[in-house]
Structure 1
Amino acid sequence: MDWKTLQALLSGVNKYSTAFSRIWLSLVFVFRVLVYVVAAEKVWGDEQKDFDCNTRQPGCTNVCYDHFFPISHIRLWALQLIFVTCPSLLVIMHVAYREDRERKNREKNGENCPKLYSNTGKKHGGLWWTYLFSLFFKLIIEVLFLYLLHKMWDGFDLPRLVKCSNLDPCPNIVDCYIARPTEKRVFTYFMVGASSICIVLTVCEIFYLIFKRVFQRTRNWRKSKRSVSYSKASTCHCHVKSEEKDNKSQPRCVAALTAL
């Protein structure tokens, strides 16, 4: 897996991201991808080879291993990292779409034509919704994979001994031993903790975007209301002045008519 290419693609998201997303991206690549590539793959490299059972029945060890490990931790984390980083590419694609529209608009109407977007990377309109959707998608993926990890192994702990029973071709109850369970347990807790922190950051960013949008809308509404009130007040003030002016001119007109 070429993690450098994925990192190069996602690094472009930082130009359009909030502070929460920048911290999230740094956490993913430093504490998850780097740990996965450098250490986790080697720790789980012997999981099937050193999965020992107290029987020599052909096929029993493979059946027991498949029963307790329907999918390897390391492969599940690889899928999780791929799925959880892909939504960020939606933002890049949306910005690229805006830039392409802007380029075609200049080619059609000239370089001095009005721009379609004041800033193609600014989160407003459809890009804001795309960014928010990517956050919800990341949040769902993180929670789903944590649930799968907890559900498949009845928790995040790895026992030293697992008992394999009522599985053909294993005779009766077979005891099987996991290779280096303590080391694998430490890495499991570390990856779960990093994933939990990423979930918290994603939730904070979602609330930040929503509250910021509500605050901006409320502020714009108040400004528009004040401007309308000010325009009405100015109109009424001018109308009162014109009435006073007319009332003052009326006696003069009457006096002139009397003189005539």
Structure 2
Amino acid sequence: MKLLQLTDIHLTTPGNTIAGRDPNANFEKALAHALELHSDADALFITGDLSDWGEADDYRRLKARIAALPMPVHLCIGNHDDRATLLEVFPDLAGEGGFVQHVIDLPIGTAITLDTWGPESHAGHFCEARAAWLSDQLATLDGPVWLFMHHNPVPLGIAPMDQIMLLDAERLAAAVAPNAAKIRHLFHGHCHLPLSGTLHGIPFSAPRGTNHQGWPDFAATRMLSGADLMEAYAVILVDRNNTMIHMVEFGYGGDIRSENTPEYADWDKLTMVR
């Protein structure tokens, strides 16, 4: 099975930029790159911050664009989104209780998209109703299960970022704990950083976003930090026993060298590219 993860696409009014970059153009570049190399993907997940300001026109353009893609596309909601506006444009995203949460059948196992949005907050929220729904789904599903959400559930050790992480991370952990053995991986976005770790033993990861990027300033006390790093998305390769996740820096425009074959006998000190 092959899955794609794009995150933090931050669509804006055409012509507007973020950190000097055009998020609409970069979203198109990400799609073009992914479709050229991975048109055989079984599904594409976009893990939140679909719009930079939660505007209906951004969602309308997104809806039209993903309708033309050759694989199913599944959306998560992020802190820059507006739930009411998103559901006006994508009414099918309304799950139980009006949350943007769904169970999705995959060739191997099941994906669950989670709603970590809260009003007038950049931090993540996961209320008792959302947690109860997740617990019920996990109790009835066979594994493996793949969780997709926007906010990071574990602190980064960077003070300003930790103020806007998933504040209800322990409630999420308690919801998944009884069925944690079923959960193969958790995918998130939000931080604009390549991340990996574990939540109570459950592995998680995040790629950079498709437009502007963060920087891990561990000395920061108030301000979030950004840097002109490459735009990226994730390619997820799965078999019954294993999971491999690549962060693909589609924004890179430099040379790609052919350095050598993997054959041991070909590794020659005089001819190797160094």
The normalised TM-score by structure 1 is 0.22
State the structure with more CA Rg.
Answer: 1
Higher RCO structure (Cα 8 Å, ≥6 apart): 1
More strand by share: 2
The normalised TM-score by structure 2 is 0.21
